[in-house]
Amino acid sequence: MKLYEIILKPMSGFGTSLKGDSLFGHFCWQAAYDPSLLNGGLNKWISCYGEKPFVVFSSAWPKIEDNGKFFYAFKRPDMPISFLFPTSKKNKKETIEQLKENKKKKWMKVDESLSLDLDSVEYLTNKDIVEKAYKQATDDTRRMMKGKRHYEFCFEFIQQHNTINRITMTTGEGMFAPFAETNFFYYPETELAVFVLINEEATDIEKICTALENIGKFGFGRDASTGCGRFELGEHDELALPSVESPNACYVLGPVVPEKGLFSDHYFTPFVRFGKHGDVLATSENPFKNPVVMADEGAVFIPKNNDVFKKAYIGRAVLNSSKIKEHTVVHQGYAPYLPFRLEMKHERTN
């Protein structure tokens, strides 16, 4: 499989996070209505997705310019904070203060080579990311944001909704009661990088971009009908598959359902996808899918042997997740990953 980077430029707020499994689902709906996006059509490739994925999406990650060079802001690995930040304080009070500061460092800075080394990586807080985003912004955006205390790279807002009773022409109780949803905005002029693994027997990067462009026009995820989920496409580039000398761990770039028996250890935050059908099935009698428990992006998996590194992705497909359509619904349980060398605690002390 070939690896590509596609840049997304948010044009509105979002009700649904741009996670890899959701991007895959949206792409499949595009392919269902435009058979030219997949050679041989969607059904052909869905039928073998469990053994041979035709496309694997990562989640979307901020790409930021800093002193003339670009870097990706990836989530801090889901490992014990004492492992990532060994304490250097002997005083208990100072140790607690240091721990508080380290917990704020939710991002890690990885350059365009996608080379990951936990011993030398720079960790960043939300405030650090915002400051770098401010520096790279245009003059108009700087003037707009100057003096505003935005320390969150993604900040939430409350979106009000209501349904009108067409008999009384008012809102009311029950299904007509006004309600609110929490959506979020990225910092102005943010660019997001999505990493896509493509089986070129099935499709190519131009077709993937065509599908994503259509998704961005009509809206991604929840509240698309109210204007959320809009984005434009930027550049796309083919990348070399990430590699490192003597890797023994995988840092995943999207939610993943790991294969059984392949890993000796793992660090992750559970993520439950309460899926819902799209398109016409969204208004069916039962639009909901069975919940899928996944390891969220930022998880670290330690394989039992090096055979895992022969593929550019880990995980497995999740089949039969629909409550109303048997054998046809496939959930992306795969994810691209960054191979890296993880030194265990006993190795660090030697």
Count structural domains, the chain. 1
How do beta strands 231-239 and 2-10 pair?
antiparallel
Mean pLDDT by 10 residues, the chain (350 residues): 95 92 92 93 90 94 91 94 80 85 92 90 90 84 73 75 81 79 86 96 95 94 87 94 90 94 93 81 78 94 92 90 68 94 60
Residue pair 114/242 in contact (Cβ under 8 Å)? The answer is: yes
How do beta strands 69-75 and 55-66 pair?
antiparallel
DSSP code string of 130-193: HHHHHHHS-HHHHHHHTT-----SEEEEEEEE---BTTTTB--SGGGS-EEEEEEEEPTT--EE
Which residues are within 8 A (CB) of 26 and not within 5 positions of it... i.e. 6 or more apart?
211, 215, 220, 278
Cβ atoms < 10 Å from Cβ of 158: 8
Beta bridge partners of 197: 3, 56
Nearest to 241 by CA among 313, 307, 341, 312: 312
> Domain of 32?
2-349
Q: So what's the pLDDT on residue 350?
A: 42
**Angle CA 289–291–293, to nearest 5:** 145
Residues in the chain: 350
H/E stretch holding 94 reads: helix 92-103
**Angle CA 139–143–145, to nearest 5:** 115
Q: So what's the pLDDT on residue 326?
A: 61
The answer for 67, left when phi > 0, alpha when psi is -120 to 50, beta otherwise, is left
Q: Say whether 260 sits in a helix, a strand or coil.
A: coil
- Tokens found for residue 186: 């990225």
Nearest to 1 by CA among 310, 347, 322: 310
Residue pair 297/335 in contact (Cβ under 8 Å)? The answer is: yes
Q: So what's the pLDDT on residue 346?
A: 42
Q: So what's the pLDDT on residue 148?
A: 65
pTM for this model (two decimals): 0.89
Q: So what's the pLDDT on residue 147?
A: 67
